[in-house]
Chain A
Amino acid sequence: GENVEQHPSTLSVQEGDSAVIKCTYSDSASNYFPWYKQELGKRPQLIIDIRSNVGEKKDQRIAVTLNKTAKHFSLHITETQPEDSAVYFCAAQGGSQGNLIFGKGTKLSVKP
């Protein structure tokens, strides 16, 4: 089955710097790759997603890139702000039932 690896597990940046989180997946049939932000005790919140027929997608300060050949995708956050501090999860979705397989998460800390 699908396996998603996520790095780094923790990331600390200064406010205004960029943050990059990387994920790899194993199942070439996966065709949808969402990124979730989770604050303590809350549900995962979708922040951006990308489908397998697209290489890059951007939404204001957040962008995601996908390399299907290498089976990896990355989240880029520019001009980070303290409120960006949270745990970020990547996921891969595929198969007929569309189950999401999550990475282990990255705890992002943005220092003012």
Chain B
Amino acid sequence: EPEVTQTPSHQVTQMGQEVILRCVPISNHLYFYWYRQILGQKVEFLVSFYNNEISEKSEIFDDQFSVERPDGSNFTLKIRSTKLEDSAMYFCASRPDRAIYGYTFGSGTRLTVV
């Protein structure tokens, strides 16, 4: 069964540093998403991406966040200057097209900011 792949599985970074989280969505999927989950809390929507641009973003997705699909296969989330409160599990997800409900989630990247 096709999978959404995320790397790295765990990243530790110092406060103020930039991090890039990487995702490889399923190849024929068209909609891509980033979600985050702070430990012990609910999964929160960050951003959706379609047709090479951001289609919707939440209040969490402020100017320190950006997304990119640099080469037609990878989908990245960049945090420019990490804060302690950015520590969370970040999940990438994708789905085939607008008519298809439901997602495939990646296995997540645990980001720890120290």
Contacts and interface: CB of A to CB of B under 8 A. Distances in A.
Secondary structure at the A interface, as helix, strand, loop or mixed, is strand
A61 interface: no
Interface residues of B, number: 23
B18 interface: no
A93 interface: yes
B45 A49 contact: no
Interface residues of A, number: 24
Nearest to B46: A99
Interface string B72-101: 000000000000000000010001001001
B31 A102 contact: no
Interface string B24-57: 0000000101010000011111001010000110
Given A34-B102, A49-B101, A51-B101, A95 B43 contact: no
B103 A100 contact: yes
Interface string A49-92: 10100000000000000000000000000000000000001010
